[in-house]
Amino acid sequence: MVSAGLTALIALTVIATATLSGIFGMAGGIVLMGMFLVVLPVSSAMMLHGTTQAVSNGYRAFLTRDHIVWPVLGLYVVGAVLSLAALSAISFVPDKALVFICVGSVPFAAAALPARFALDITKPGMPMICGFIITLINLIAGVAGPLLDAFFVKSDLTRHQVVATKAVTQTLSHLLKLVYFGVLVRQVVIEANGDLTTLPWWLYLMVIPCAMIGTTVGTKVLDKISDTNFRKWSQWIILTLGAICITRGITLWVS
C-alpha cells in the first residue's frame, strides 16, 4: 500500500526532476532514480523510473522537435537493440547497492575520459557505439545521462540540438528498460524481489502529467540560459549528484 505522503513525495520529485532534465537534458534522472531506490525495490524503481523518464524525455523531444538531429538516430537504435539482446541473454538483475554505485559512477566515468577520445555523436560509427554503451549502462544503473552527454559535449551542436536529440535517445533507452524489466527478465525479477505489481497502477498514471509539467517548465528555462552556462552548470551538478549516489551505494554495500 502506497501512503498519501509517499504519493505526494513521488509527485513533487517527478515534477522537480523533470524540470531539471528539461533545462540540462540530464541530472533529473539521477535524482529521481536515487529517490526511488530509497523507497522502492530495485525492480519497482526501474519500472516507475522508466515510465517517468520515457514520458519526460518523449515530451521534451516533442517540445524541441525542430532541433532534433535525426541522422544520428538510426545507428543509435541498432546499437541499443544489440545491447538489449546481450543483457537479455544472461538475464542480469542488479541489487540496490550496485545500482547506486553505478548511478554515481556514470558522471565520473564520463568526466575521466581522456581528451583524445573525442566521443562526438556526429562522427561516423559513433551513434552505434553510443547506443550500445548507453543502453547497457541504463539497464544496469537505470540512468546514463551523464555518459550520454560525453558523446555530445565535443560536438558542434547547439544546446537546443543537444537537449532535443538526447531526449529522443533517452526516450528509447527508458522504453527498452521497461521492456527489459517488465517482460524479458520479469520472472527473474519476481523470484529476486517479488512481483512488480506491488505498485498500484494509478501511480504509473500519476507520474505522466507530473513529468510533462516539469518538462514544460524546464524547457522554458532552457531558452533563457547561454550555451556556456549550460555546459558549465551541467558538469558541476552531475558530479555532485554522482558523489552522493556512490556514498549511498557503499553504505548499503558494507552494512
Rounded mean pLDDT, 172-178: 90
pLDDT band (50, 70, 90) for residue 76 = very high
pLDDT of the residue at 117: 62
Rounded mean pLDDT, 206-217: 86
CB distance 238 to 45 below 8 Å? no
Would you give the distance in Å from CA 162 to the centre of its chain? 15
Residue 196: how many other CB atoms lie within 10 Å: 17
CB distance 124 to 138 below 8 Å? no
The three-class DSSP label of residue 231 is helix
Domain residue ranges in the chain? 4-254
For residues 168 and 164, what is the distance between their CA atoms, to the nearest angstrom? 7
pLDDT digits 0-9 by tens, 110-139: 667 666 666 778 888 889 999 998 898 888
pLDDT digits 0-9 by tens, 37-58: 887 877 788 888 888 888 888 9
For residues 199 and 56, what is the distance between their CA atoms, to the nearest angstrom? 20
pTM of the predicted protein model: 0.76
CB distance 130 to 92 below 8 Å? no
pLDDT of the residue at 172: 92
Nearest CA among 22, 19, 20, 16 for reference residue 237: 20
